[in-house]
Amino acid sequence: MKVLVMGAGVVGVSTAWYLAKAGHEVTVIDRAADVAEETSFANAGQLSYGYTTPWAAPGIPKKALKWLFRPHSPLLLRPDGSLFQLQWLGRMLLNCTEKNYAQNKARMVRVSEYSRAMLQELHEELPDLDYEGRQHGTLQIFRTDKEVAAAQADVRVLQDYGVPVTVISNPQQCLDYEPALAGTVDKLAGALHLPNDATGDCHLFTVRLAEQCRALGVNFLLNHTINQIERDGSRIRGVIANGQRFEADHYVCALGSFSRTMLKSLDMSLPVYPVKGYSITVPVSNSDGAPQSTVLDETYKVAITRFKDRMRVGGMAELSGYKIQLNPKRRETLELVVNELFPTAGNVAEATFWSGLRPMTPDSTPLIGATRYGNLWLNTGHGTLGWTMGLGSGRVLSDLISGVTPEIESSDLSVIRYV
């Protein structure tokens, strides 16, 4: 069958890969000059299988209120003038109950764990796929006893879900995982280590996977802005991009944060809000002073991930609409965390600064599956975890389109849960 994938981020390209492997004739359309140029470009680089957790959790509303008034806050809320922003926040708050949290978490862990399996399979199939990946886990560090005490609840949840975790009560032990913390370990109160987490450059991964897709015959139409999706009753008839019409048997919407705006003309109201985040990428000049893997600083909710000769430092959640302009204040926070934890690793003044829009659903679970249009499928809404969940989501959607029963339960992943 002919399948047209809209969007060449990590999610669209992963979907195209599995569709092509299943024997379909695949075209990917994107407005950018290359793949992974938007949110998949410079994320924090964590394959966070252990910390696959909904944002909406019991206790979050109280915490969020405190964060809003703190300097270097991980959370910022700026009214964007839309009713949608308020509705989205309201829906998110409704998900902060114990019951909803448990349901959302279970769904997300299912997709994440499947993605982990898919990445392992991909490593076996394409052992030379180089995306500066590492398999050294995540070290989550706490600076105060209060943070250590609060983490007990996380440990219980991790154990309930069978996620291996080491509780570190003597901060000196952090040096077993991250020797470069030697200069700052005295300021720490404790840590958790999640050995199953991995890291890698999502942009590089997507570029390399796209090369493999091309080798399977996938056609990438880059520099093509989709302006319109044409419908014919309950089916999609074609997609208009750069004034040209493209037709297929099936259409996949993997447009990240722009999925909602694009599908509005089809009278669909996707609950996907653009949650802005920031990162800096610092060239590593002193390898011994840099992290080995990901260090997650609980105080600022900032992650520092090591690639080959760079560090990616990412965080913050800003609910302020679709604008991606860079706010120098956010850079200050990211630089502060690097200078405190890894002061000799590299010069933050040489870092590149970036922002991206996480396509976030109120229940943090992506939208994967069918729509009320018979030949339109969704793979979007991956929020904070699109790099972690991309492969598994791509495989599930490819199976659904191919008429094959996915290897994991998928009926509760579709947009139908919001209808």
Ligand X SMILES: Cc1cc2nc3c(=O)[nH]c(=O)nc-3n(C[C@H](O)[C@H](O)[C@H](O)COP(=O)(O)OP(=O)(O)OC[C@H]3O[C@@H](n4cnc5c(N)ncnc54)[C@H](O)[C@@H]3O)c2cc1C
Applying CB under 6 A, the residues found at the interface with ligand X are: 7-12, 29-32, 36-40, 43-46, 48, 225-226, 254-256, 258, 262, 277-279, 303, 314, 356, 358-359, 380, 382-388
By C-beta, is 148 or 378 nearer to ligand X?
Answer: 378
Q: Report the C-alpha gap between 384 and 396 in whole angstroms.
A: 19
Beta carbon of residue 387, minimum distance to ligand X (angstroms, whole number):
3
Beta carbon of residue 36, minimum distance to ligand X (angstroms, whole number):
6
Q: Give 45-71 as a DSSP string.
A: -EE-STT---S--TTHHHHHHHHHTST
By C-beta, is 7 or 406 nearer to ligand X?
Answer: 7
By C-beta, is 115 or 410 nearer to ligand X?
Answer: 115
* Mode of pairing for the β-strands spanning 190-194 and 352-360: unpaired
By C-beta, is 39 or 375 nearer to ligand X?
Answer: 39
Beta carbon of residue 169, minimum distance to ligand X (angstroms, whole number):
26
Q: Report the C-alpha gap between 197 and 135 in whole angstroms.
A: 7
Beta carbon of residue 8, minimum distance to ligand X (angstroms, whole number):
5
Q: Are 107 and 114 in contact (CB under 8 A)?
A: no
Q: Report the C-alpha gap between 161 and 157 in whole angstroms.
A: 6
What SS3 string covers 39-50?
Answer: CCCCCCCEECCC
Q: Report the C-alpha gap between 324 and 277 in whole angstroms.
A: 9
Beta-carbon neighbour count of residue 78 at 10 Å? 12
Q: Are 397 and 15 in contact (CB under 8 A)?
A: yes
By C-beta, is 346 or 386 nearer to ligand X?
Answer: 386
Beta carbon of residue 252, minimum distance to ligand X (angstroms, whole number):
11
Backbone angles phi, psi at 337, to 5 degrees: -65, -40
Q: Are 40 and 7 in contact (CB under 8 A)?
A: no
Beta carbon of residue 37, minimum distance to ligand X (angstroms, whole number):
6
Backbone angles phi, psi at 280, to 5 degrees: -120, 150
176 burial (CB, 10 Å; 0-12 / 13-18 / 19+) is exposed
Helices 98-125 and 386-402, packing angle to 10 deg: 80
Beta carbon of residue 287, minimum distance to ligand X (angstroms, whole number):
22
Beta carbon of residue 407, minimum distance to ligand X (angstroms, whole number):
21
Residue type at 38 in one-letter notation: E
By C-beta, is 284 or 316 nearer to ligand X?
Answer: 316
Beta carbon of residue 386, minimum distance to ligand X (angstroms, whole number):
2
By C-beta, is 148 or 317 nearer to ligand X?
Answer: 317
- Residue 140 half-sphere exposure, CB side, CA atoms within 13 Å? 22
By C-beta, is 51 or 185 nearer to ligand X?
Answer: 51
Residue pointed to by tokens 């694009």: 262
By C-beta, is 203 or 250 nearer to ligand X?
Answer: 203
